[in-house]
Structure formats: structure tokens, C-alpha cells
């Protein structure tokens, strides 16, 4: 398996992302609402980001973690191209494993539209 997530993990990750970035500001608790994909785009702009980094020296790298654990759903989230480097490079000390895990949990547990709900344009 290595450090890259398998196809079922990616599908679950993107499905639970609700097509928006999983970032939430630590300063004002506002979430990012950047759309990750649209039908008319040739690809998604969503980036799979690790909570605990893949390689030594990467943000929040955990030497005790196995490669399959690094590639597991629980260690991944989907971010936009602005917020991926923000949490991994620019403010990596503020965005700890605990902060990012809580952010992921909040994002993935947000209410979803039910069948029959109106879609906002």
C-alpha cells in the first residue's frame, strides 16, 4: 500500500468532504468554502493532505506510524490549494495533530443534504 491512499479511501474522503475544503481558521473558527470540483472542470482542485506527515521532516511526522497508517482515511483530509501549504508549511506549528484531527471530525460530521432538500444555486 505504501503512503498513498487506495482508491476506496480516496472515494470516501472526497465523498465526505462535501466538495469543500476541510480547513477551519483557528482565529475566527470560520471554515473555508472553496469548491473543490465542478462538472465543467477537467479535474479537481482538492488536495489530499496528511494529518501526520509522510516523510521525516514533513509537518507532524510520526516515526512510530506505519506507512499503511499514514495512508489511512483517519490520517487524511481534503484541502484547497491555499490551505494545504498553509497548515503544512506557513503555520505548521499552530496546526497540530490534535487541531487537525478535530477539524477533520467537525468537517466530515457536518449535516448533509437529505433527499428532497432544496439545492441552493
Q: What is the pLDDT of residues 94-112, one digit of tens each?
A: 999 999 999 999 998 876 5
Please say if the pLDDT value at position 119 is more than 80.
no
Please say if the pLDDT value at position 115 is more than 60.
no
Residue found by looking up cell 498513498 in the block:
4
Please say if the pLDDT value at position 118 is more than 60.
no
Q: What is the pLDDT of residues 1-34, one digit of tens each?
A: 577 899 999 999 999 999 999 999 999 989 998 9
Q: Which of 82, 81, 84, 70 is nearest to 43 (CA)?
A: 81
Q: What is the pLDDT of residues 30-89, one digit of tens each?
A: 999 899 999 999 999 999 999 999 999 999 999 999 999 999 999 999 999 999 999 999
Amino acid at each position: 500500500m505504501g503512503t498513498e491512499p487506495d482508491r476506496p479511501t480516496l472515494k470516501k474522503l472526497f465523498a465526505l468532504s462535501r466538495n469543500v475544503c476541510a480547513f477551519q481558521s483557528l482565529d475566527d473558527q470560520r471554515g473555508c468554502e472553496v469548491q473543490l470540483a465542478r462538472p465543467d472542470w477537467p479535474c479537481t482542485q482538492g488536495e489530499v493532505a496528511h494529518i501526520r506527515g509522510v516523510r521525516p521532516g514533513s509537518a507532524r511526522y510520526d516515526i512510530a506510524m506505519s506507512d499503511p497508517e499514514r495512508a489511512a482515511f483517519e490520517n487524511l483530509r481534503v484541502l484547497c490549494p491555499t490551505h494545504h501549504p498553509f497548515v503544512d508549511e506557513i503555520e505548521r506549528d499552530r496546526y497540530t495533530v490534535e487541531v487537525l484531527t478535530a477539524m477533520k471530525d467537525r468537517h466530515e460530521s457536518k449535516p448533509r443534504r437529505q433527499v428532497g432538500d432544496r439545492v441552493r444555486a
